[in-house]
Chains A and B, each alone.
Chain A
Amino acid sequence: MRRVGITGIGVVSALGTGREAFWQALAEGRSGIGLLTAVQAPDLQITQAAEVRDFDPLAYFDRKTAEQLDRSVQFAGAAAAEALADSGVTYEPHRAAVITGCSVGGKVAEEETYRQLYAEGRTRFDPITIVRVMANASASWISMKHAITGPAYTISSACSSATHAIGQAFWMVRLGLVDVALAGGTEAPLTLGMLRAWEALRVIAPDTCRPFSLGRRGTILGEGAAILALENLERAAARGARVYAELAGFGMSADADHFTMPSVDGPVRAMRAALEDAQIAAEQISYINAHGTGTQANDKTEAQAIRRVFANPPPASSTKSMHGHALGASGALEAAATALALSRGLLPPTANFTAPDPGCDLDVIPNQPRAFQVEAAMSNSFAFGGLNATLVFRR
């Protein structure tokens, strides 16, 4: 089996467009959460979001292409281009894959269509509508743009989508099915319909996202994309490529229990499966990028699960406190954060932290980043619907 390296990273997030803007904010513990501007509705209770504010589609696409792509696909396209350029990797078209994660598909385009359909009674729609709303448009666009003719598809598993996507792409490279894979996730869910639906779940914080902190009031929705360039490590070494981190293990599980209530058992099994896949002992993990949504239930349950897997839990921060919960993109943003933390010897903190919650008894790296050279790290994603995915990284 081949070893797999991360040789390129591309990011679009509330922390800015581009990998360096993303890392700069994480390294300062600066949150991208702020007043919601994408949607105006007077009685909307959700007022805060982690919005992408500086993204200009025309910097990445010609006008006609930009029109054809939903906001989520624009994010993914920009992130993929950055990851490939960063990596400098070349490939035979059929020896490359693109696997993306997306939870809700082209919602910006879809909701505008529905508004015209139901509110205006329109009967004619732009023929590009189907292409705009299909959840796999990001994988399709990236394959077309970068001449990737190997495996290409999109995985949808809510908040674990991108982690499942990266895990599958990792296994494909490890098995030698392909030499190179672009993998990650994208989401642009800040639409009125989505916000109303999230509002009904009563898990969105009115103030900000403060995972594991006493007084946390819920999560904050975000948007963005991250794409990693994964490469056969031997091949990467032969061309002298810079490797951010090695992707060493992937584990997954289902709670088979409840749509929204998190479980301890499911995440425990995902983390253990990832460690086993990586052939790394729990004691070797010295940083966890937690799922850490900031909801009462998730953070308490995740802390318990981590305590069950790790006799002495390593520091575990939630970068959702900064880039928000970007659903199907989250796992990719967090994988990017973890790879950069390994590469740069700095652990991003849990921002917005006020006081420890005895129910979440972990070192969550409160507010201040920590200079520390980690040898192996873990990133968790636990989705609504009870679908869990964990990645293990090694320096």
Chain B
Amino acid sequence: MLVMPETTAARVASTIAKAQHIDVVTVTAEKTLAELGFDSLDGLRLIFELEEEFDIVIPDDQAKSYTTVGRIIEGVTMLLERKTAAPADT
């Protein structure tokens, strides 16, 4: 198997697919979480899984804007950039 570094988008998609036990090919940028079968509790579990996967803290107000796969990828990307720019105090 060819091992390639996964992009953030691919990691988000695979986290979504894993959380919902669905095929990753169905997880496309324009899809809403509702279209992928997420209810409100599933959505909360996804936020938790994303925080675990990327070791980030997703603030409540930002989590509320995570309605489509594309917006989640944008949000996570932004948080990752912010994390790289301002490393945690030692």
For residue B41, CB closer than 8 A to chain A, the reply is yes
Q: How far is the CB of B20 from chain A (nearest CB, A)?
A: 7
Number of interface residues of A (CB under 8 A): 9
Q: Counting chain B CB atoms within 10 Å of each CB, which of A63, A125, A127, A131 scores highest?
A: A127
- Chain A interface SS verdict (over half): loop
Give the residues from 21 to 69 in chain B that come closer than 8 angstroms, CB to CB, to chain A. Answer: 21, 41, 44-45, 47-48, 51-52
Asked if A124 contacts B51 (CB within 8 A), the reply is yes
| Across-interface contacts of B45 in A (CB, < 8 A) | 126-128
Looking at the complex, which one of B20, B41, B48 makes contact with A124 (CB distance below 8 Å)?
Answer: B48
Q: Does A239 contact B (CB under 8 A)?
A: no
Task: From known contacts A127-B41, A128-B41, infer whether A64 and B20 are also in contact, taking CB-CB under 8 Å.
Answer: yes
B20 touches A127 (CB 8 A): no
Complex alpha-carbon distance, A131 and B40, angstroms:
14
CA distance A125 to B47 in the complex (A): 11
A103 to B61, CA, bound (A): 39
Q: Which residue of B lies closest to A63 (CB)?
A: B21
Interchain nearest-CB distance for A135 vs B (Å): 19
Give the distance in Å from the alpha carbon of A62 to the alpha carbon of B21 in the complex: 10
Bound complex: CA A10 to CA B50 (Å): 39
**In the complex, A124→B20 CA distance in Å?**
19
| Chain B residues with CB below 8 A from A131, complex form | 41
- A63 cross-chain contacts in B, Cβ below 8 A: 21
Q: Which residues of A contact B52 (CB under 8 A)?
A: 124
- Interface positions of B (Cβ within 8 A of A): 20-21, 41, 44-45, 47-48, 51-52
* Chain A to chain B contacts (Cβ below 8 Å), 5 pairs: A62-B21, A64-B20, A64-B21, A126-B48, A127-B41
Query: 5 new A-B pairs (CB below 8 Å) besides A62-B21, A128-B45?
Result: A63-B21, A64-B21, A124-B51, A127-B48, A131-B41
Residues of chain A having any CB pair with chain B under 8 Å: 62-64, 124-128, 131
Q: 7 smallest A-B Cβ distances: which pairs?
A: A127-B44, A63-B21, A64-B21, A127-B45, A127-B48, A126-B48, A124-B51
